[in-house]
Amino acid sequence: MGFSPVYRLLLLGSLLFAATSPAAGAQDYPFITVASTTSTEQSGLLGYLIPAFGQTSGIDVYVVAVGTGEALEIGERGECDVVLVHDKIRELQFMRNGFGSVRREVMYNDFVLVGPKDDPAKIDTTHDAVAALHKIAAAKARFIGRGDLSGTEAAEERLWAEDGGLPIAARDLWYVKTGGSMEQTLAAAASSNGYALTDRATWVHFRDRGELKIVVEDDPRLFNQYAVILVNPARYPQIKAQMGMAFIDWLTSPAGQAQIASYRVEDQQLFFPDYVEP
C-alpha cells in the first residue's frame, strides 16, 4: 500500500491532536501513540526498535518522551495507547486504578551516580549509593536532581529516603532540581561540575560530559526495570488496543527481545531483555 513505517517524536502539545483527531482512526494509516520515559528515547533505543517493529507490522509509532510520572498521567487521560516506563510502584497503582489493561516487564538496565573527576565528596571508592549520597550531603557538594516526577527521580528519592530524607532545595542550597529531562539534567551537572543520578543508557549516549565521570555503580539498589502497559480500552474506547497489543507482543517476542539485546552504543549493550512469559 506504499506505507513506510517511521518513528516520530511528538511534541507534547501535539499529542492530544494525534491521539484524538479523525485521522487517528483511519484504516489506511495505522499508527499508535506511545508515551515513554525519556531514557528510551534519549538513549537512541526507540529510534532503533521502532523501525524494526514497523517493518514487520506496518504500524507507525508516534512517541512522546517525558518523565515516567508524566507518561503515566498521559495514559490516565487516555491520550496515548501504550506507556513504556520504569517505576514499578506507580505502574502497579496505574493498573489497580483501572488505567491499564496489560502490563509486561520487558527489559532492564541500571542507574549510575556521576560526578566531577576530582570527586569532592570522595565517593568513587564505594559501590554503596546510599553511603555516597550521605557523603555528598555532608560535603555540601552540588547535586543536580530531575525534579520532574520521572522514574529516575523516584529512584533518587528512594535512595535519599534510605539516608534519612530528601534534601530540601530551599534550605540545602547545594541541591538543585532542573525540572527537565535526563539529558538536560546531565548538561546542568556538567556545566556546574555537580553530581547526578542517571540511567546508564542515557549517560553512554550523552556527549557533553565536561569533567564528569561515573563515580558509583554496581549497587543492587541501582537496578532499573522497564515495563510496557496497554492503556485500558474498556475505560477509553479510542484506545487502539489491537495495534497497541501488536507493539507489546513484538517487544516481548523472541524477535523483539533479541532486537533490544542487540542495541549497542560504543560497543556497550545498554538494555537487557527480561520478559518472562507467565
213 and 265, same domain (yes or no)? no
Whether 205 and 116 have beta carbons less than 8 Å apart is answered as no
For 45-78, what is each residue's pLDDT tens digit?
999 999 999 999 999 999 999 999 999 999 999 9
The mean pLDDT value for 118-145 works out to 95
**What residues contact 21, with CB distance under 8 A and at least 6 apart?**
none
75 and 102, same domain (yes or no)? yes
Say what the pLDDT of residue 10 is. Answer: 57
Q: Answer whether residue 141 shows pLDDT above 90.
A: yes
Say what the pLDDT of residue 8 is. Answer: 58
Say what the pLDDT of residue 278 is. Answer: 87
Residue range of the domain that includes 97: 7-108+225-273
Q: Answer whether residue 157 shows pLDDT above 70.
A: yes
Does residue 123 fall inside a structural domain? yes
Does residue 278 fall inside a structural domain? no
206 and 232, same domain (yes or no)? no
155 and 258, same domain (yes or no)? no
Q: Answer whether residue 229 shows pLDDT above 90.
A: yes
Q: What is the pTM of this model?
A: 0.88
Say what the pLDDT of residue 28 is. Answer: 66
Say what the pLDDT of residue 42 is. Answer: 87
Domain CATH number, residue 198: 3.40.190.10
Domain count, the chain: 2
- From the list 59, 61, 66, 18, the residue with the least C-alpha distance to 41 is 66
20 and 103, same domain (yes or no)? yes
269 and 218, same domain (yes or no)? no
Say what the pLDDT of residue 166 is. Answer: 87
pLDDT band at 1; cut points 50, 70, 90 = very low
pLDDT band at 99; cut points 50, 70, 90 = very high
90 and 158, same domain (yes or no)? no
Concatenated DSSP letters of the chain: ------EEE--GGGHHHHHHSGGGG-TTS-EEEEEEEHHHHHTSHHHHHHHHHHHHH--EEEEEEE-HHHHHHHHHTT--SEEEE--HHHHHHHHHTTSEEEEEEEEEEEEEEEEETT-TT--TT---HHHHHHHHHHHT--EEE--SS-HHHHHHHHHHHHTT----TTT-TTEEE--S-HHHHHHHHHHHT-BEEEEHHHHHH----TTEEEEE---GGGEEEEEEEEE-TTT-TTS-HHHHHHHHHHHTSHHHHHHHHH-EETTEE--EE-----
For 249-266, what is each residue's pLDDT tens digit?
999 999 999 999 999 998
> Rounded to whole angstroms, how far apart are CA atoms 143 and 176?
6
